[in-house]
Amino acid sequence: MTTTQTPTRPPSFDAAVTAHIPNLKWLAGKLGFRGDARKELVHDTIVYALSHWQNFREDGCMQNWLFWQMRGCVTNTARRKRVTLVHGVDVANRATPPRQEDYVALSATLAKLSGRGGEFLLRAAEGDSLLEIANDNGISRERVRQIVERERVRLRSNGESGRGV
C-alpha cells in the first residue's frame, strides 16, 4: 500500500516570501489600501502565497508572482465584501441602526429614481460593475457610465444626492 505524501514547502520559499514583505506593503499602498486594510491585504497575500506555494515556478520572479497573488486577493475580497442593502441602506456595516430620518430621506431619493438610469445607479451602488450592467442590458460599459453619471448629476441638482451617490 502506497501513501501519497504532499510535498512540504521548502524553507527557501518561506524565506523568499518573507524577504518580499516590504514590497507587498508598498504595493498595497499603491493599490490604495491604508492602515489596517493595508496590513490585512498583505497578510491575506502571504497566507494565500504560502498555501499555494506549489503554483510558483522555480524559474519565475517571486516579486511578480506575489504581485499577481495580491491582485487576486483584492479581487476576491471585493467579491466577498458585497453588502446587502435593505431599502438602500447598508445595515451590515453601520455602527448604529438606521434612524427614521435616514429612511425618510432615502425613500425620497429612491422615489426620484426612475427608468433605467435609476436602475443602473442602484446596481452600481450595490457593487455591480459597469461591465456587468452593460452585459445585462446589451449596451457598452461606457454608455452605462454615462447614464449613471447623468443620474448622479440629476440627483445632485435636486439637492438629494447624499453621500456616496
Query: Model's pTM, two decimal places?
Result: 0.45
Q: What are the residue ranges in the chain where pLDDT is below 50?
A: 1, 160-165
- Position 85 scores a pLDDT of 54
**What is the domain range of residue 39?**
11-80
Distance from CA of residue 58 to its chain's centroid?
A: 31
Asked if residue 15 and residue 72 are part of one domain, the reply reads yes
* Residue 90 DSSP class: E
- Position 108 scores a pLDDT of 80
- Position 82 scores a pLDDT of 53
Residue 162 belongs to a domain: no
CATH number for 61? 1.10.1740
Question: Which residue has 427614521 as its cell numbers?
Answer: 100
